[in-house]
Amino acid sequence: MTDTSTHLRTACNRDCPDVCGILATVRDGRVTRLQGDPDHPVTRGFLCHRTSRFLDRQYSPDRLTTPLMRDGDGFRPIGWDEALDRIARQMCAIRAESGPGAILHYRSGGSLGLMKHVTDALFERFGPVTLKSGDICSGAGDAAQLADFGVEDSHDLEDLRNARTILLWGKNPHVSSPHLVPLLRECRKAGARVVLVDPVHHQGVSSADLYLQPRPGGDVALGLGVARELFEAGAVDPTCEAYCLNLQVFRRTALGRSTAHWAELAGVRVDEVRALAQAYAQGPSAILVGWGTQRRGNGSAAVRVLDALGAISGNLGVAGGGVSFYFQRRGAFDLSFASGAAARRLPEALLGQAVLEARDPPVRAVWVTAGNPVAMLPDSRKVAEALQTRDLTVVVDAFLTDTARCAHFVLPTTTLLEEDDLVGSYGHAWLAEVRPVVARPEGVRSDYEIAGELAVRLGLPNAQEFRQPVEVWKRRLLSRVADHGAGLDQLRQGPVRHPLAPKILFEDRKFPTPSGKVELVTDLDPTPPQVTPQRPMLLMALSTERSQASQPAGAQEPQGPPVATVHPDAALGFDDGGLAQVVSDVGAMTVRLRFDPRQRRDVLAMAKGGSLGAGRCPNALVPARQTDCGGGAVYYDTPVALLPVD
């Protein structure tokens, strides 16, 4: 029997640094298998567990294929024309009565496709409307590196082969960057040492030559302890004062307390601080900063201390060095069609309360693109309340998420296998085209198509611009790099490295800061978040291979109490596998305990992204707070306790 299968290439557009190349096997109009593209230089032929199981989600019976309109406590199906007509009339009425600032467009990272920016342009021209400020995912680290270096970017991944020491600070590549793992193994085999710093014991420990497990939020103190050891040992670049502003202030800060004092604050031993400093001093040394490091009250300060370590040690501007936090995933693209203008901005980390308290004008309408803020933002119940109490809430999604359940209208959209788009990556420098490998179900429309139909109904000037072929937009997006070998025709042959991205940053030791130097941090509070006898642990809801943020790997949301992992000594009187209540100052939830003696006694670890409706959302326990800089969310500083289940 003849095999009629075809093999089509596309790329993953979900919120993950790896942005994998995908090889889809399609037979009779249905995708039957997903594989990693063997020709993609980062994917190298394998996919993460989440994407490997995406077909369960693609063909889930729970997927939405028709618009829904609220009907009492539930929803009823509605046609596209009627839904968009109603939405457009209400948006126009709200703008006429209260101004465009009464409408909030919230776009998040459920899809990182660049075509999502076209929806930004739609709302900018209709308003501009209200937007969010800050970034719950990386805001503190973004602000830190921009303050220190004047630009935020990373060394090429392959440059790790030039490192003698690779320091993973708060980073679990097995979950967050699985395609980094083979490269780390190859580097170790070639003689590099891998050092891991993380308060949570995880699979990455097995790949590390040295592991430190500081107390949660002890990063600033640990970094300053390492800096003190470098200064005392003379292991600093003798020329660093020429390119470092505030060097003497930073030096006085590091030397202002003993290594023993820094170690005590960080919750590690003195010999561990010294071992870390000695390993880092044997460079060239690369620091890879995990995104969790900066999701704390002092998160920006923590990253700035790591930037300072890279600067004083001479590991900036050299092969095998650098302090890499984020690649400029949008850097290759021309996004000038959306300027980012806003009537006002509300802090994303405080969104629920900010929406409820907004005045002059109040927020009357919310449009959610590529996001599930109820599950993913702190103080989830407050976010849900804010969305449920607007005059108009519209959510564009493929599933009835916690956020969609708060909407007046839910508009079904395409999945990553049906998208027509472009992607960059925040974990490497490769660009790719996202191509539809299968037809979408009847009744489903892309964000771009929705924008086009809405633009006409809203009476926007030049509304037809939003109805051009997607290829026109793709070529426009790539206009900055098309003459450098990264045009659409080249991407259709396979992934292309961003041609303007440096492989080694700051080789000339010049920095686009006001001073032209690295501007070292001078104002530091090294005190970690405190626990009490009443709340003896800090909640850490972490990424997991079982879901992509709030998108489960399989078709179904997990059911039953979520798992909370603790040290046995932190749960005296409870049973391994038994139920308990996790209680914070803002909420409580039932969990199933898992004992792990490798964990710290002051850590309670859970999986992030669980459903609020199913009682599995850790963010319902997290109060809404912003990081010290950058408008990030303080996810990991929440003190909690275990109580018996009633």
Q: What is the residue whose two structure tokens read 């059911």? A: 559
Instruction: Give the SS3 label for residue 301.
Output: helix
pLDDT beneath 70, residues of the chain: 1-2, 555
Least Cα distance to 178 among 376, 12, 20 occurs for 20
Q: Which fold has domain 139-325?
A: Dimethylsulfoxide Reductase; domain 2 (3.40.228)
CA distance 294 to 170: 9
Q: What is the residue whose two structure tokens read 């995406």? A: 54
CA distance 571 to 489: 59
The residue ranges of DSSP E strands in 174-322, in sequence order, are 193-197, 210-212, 244-245, 285-289
Contacts of 196 (CB under 8 A, 6+ apart): 168, 171, 204, 205, 207, 208, 210, 211, 212
Q: What is the residue whose two structure tokens read 């997903």? A: 34
3-state SS track over 61-101 = CCCCCCCEEEECCEEEECCHHHHHHHHHHHHHHHHHHHCHH
> 395: alpha, beta or left, given left = phi > 0 and alpha = psi -120 to 50?
beta
Its CATH class, for the domain covering 6-58, is: alpha beta
CA distance 137 to 109: 9
Instruction: Give the SS3 label for residue 189.
Output: helix
Query: What does pTM read for this prediction?
Result: 0.97
Contacts of 5 (CB under 8 A, 6+ apart): 25, 26, 27, 32
In this prediction, residue 556 carries a pLDDT of 76
Give the count of alpha carbons within 13 A of 38, CB side only: 1
Instruction: Give the SS3 label for residue 243.
Output: coil
CA distance 407 to 409: 5
Structure tokens at 96: 């006429």
| CA–CA–CA angle 198, 199, 203 (5° rounding) | 60
Residue 457: what are its φ and ψ, rounded to 5°?
-65, -30
List residues bridging with 115 in a β-sheet: none
Structure tokens at 99: 């101004």
- Are 365 and 391 in contact by the 8 Å Cβ rule? The answer is yes
List residues bridging with 394 in a β-sheet: 367, 409
| CA–CA–CA angle 531, 537, 539 (5° rounding) | 115
Residue 292: what are its φ and ψ, rounded to 5°?
-65, -25
CA distance 63 to 80: 17
Contacts of 65 (CB under 8 A, 6+ apart): 412, 441, 442, 443, 444
State in Å, rounded, how far the first CA of the chain is from the last one.
62
- Give the alpha-carbon dihedral of 151, 154, 156, 158, to 10 degrees: 160
Q: What is the residue whose two structure tokens read 């090294």? A: 526
Q: Report domain extents, the chain.
A: 6-58, 68-136+346-497, 139-325, 537-643
Q: Which CATH number fits domain 68-136+346-497: 3.40.50.740, 3.40.1360.10, 2.70.210.12, 3.40.250.10?
A: 3.40.50.740
β-strands 6-11, 21-27 pairing? antiparallel
CA distance 474 to 487: 9
Contacts of 469 (CB under 8 A, 6+ apart): none
- Are 227 and 287 in contact by the 8 Å Cβ rule? The answer is no
CA distance 304 to 312: 12
- Are 483 and 500 in contact by the 8 Å Cβ rule? The answer is no
- Are 296 and 529 in contact by the 8 Å Cβ rule? The answer is yes
In this prediction, residue 546 carries a pLDDT of 86
CA distance 256 to 229: 12
In this prediction, residue 593 carries a pLDDT of 98
CA distance 464 to 446: 16
Burial (CB count within 10 angstroms: exposed 0-12, middle 13-18, buried 19+), residue 336: exposed
In this prediction, residue 554 carries a pLDDT of 76
Structure tokens at 56: 């369960």
In this prediction, residue 136 carries a pLDDT of 97
From the DSSP assignment, how many helices (H) and strands (E) are in the chain? Answer: 18, 29
Structure tokens at 144: 């830190």
CA distance 406 to 404: 5
3-state SS track over 1-25 = CCCCCEEEEEECCCCCCCCCEEEEE
In this prediction, residue 553 carries a pLDDT of 82
Instruction: Give the SS3 label for residue 504.
Output: coil
What would the pLDDT profile of 245-278 be if each residue is shown by its tens digit?
Answer: 999 999 999 999 999 999 999 999 999 999 999 9
Q: Which fold has domain 537-643?
A: Barwin-like endoglucanases (2.40.40)
- Are 537 and 567 in contact by the 8 Å Cβ rule? The answer is no
Structure tokens at 332: 């290759």
CA 280 vs CA 144, 164, 285: distances in Å: 21, 9, 6
In this prediction, residue 4 carries a pLDDT of 78
Instruction: Spell out a b/e string for 366-386, using b for 16 or more CB atoms within 10 Å of the CB, else e.
Output: bbbbbbbbbbbbbbbebbbbb
